[in-house]
């Protein structure tokens, strides 16, 4: 089989994680639509980095969303 064509459990897990990340970002963009896209991206990125440093691993989309939402709400600009 050619490289990249074999899909096992790892490929399915990656797609599921990517779908959860996209859904998380979509929820935050919708909830904080009055903010510039860049502000929401920065909150997501900062939350992801903080959680990675804290745990030493990859954070779940749910944990990233919760921390990003707290950051965005703390700005006083949230819904």
Structural domain spans, the chain: 34-79
Query: Mind listing the pLDDT tens digit for each residue in 12-50?
Result: 888 998 999 999 999 999 999 999 999 999 999 999 999
Is the CA virtual torsion 31, 37, 38, 42 positive or negative? positive
**Distance (Å, rounded) from C-alpha 73 to C-alpha 42?**
13
pLDDT-derived band at 10 (thresholds 50, 70, 90) equals: confident
């Amino acid at each position: 089989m050619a490289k990249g064509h074999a899909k096992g459990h790892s490929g399915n897990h990656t797609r599921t994680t990517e779908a959860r990340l996209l859904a998380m970002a979509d929820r935050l963009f919708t909830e904080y639509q009055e903010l510039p896209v860049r502000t929401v991206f920065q909150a997501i990125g900062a939350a992801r980095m903080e959680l990675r440093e804290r745990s030493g691993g990859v954070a779940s989309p749910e944990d990233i969303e919760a921390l990003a939402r707290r950051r965005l709400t703390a700005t006083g600009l949230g819904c």
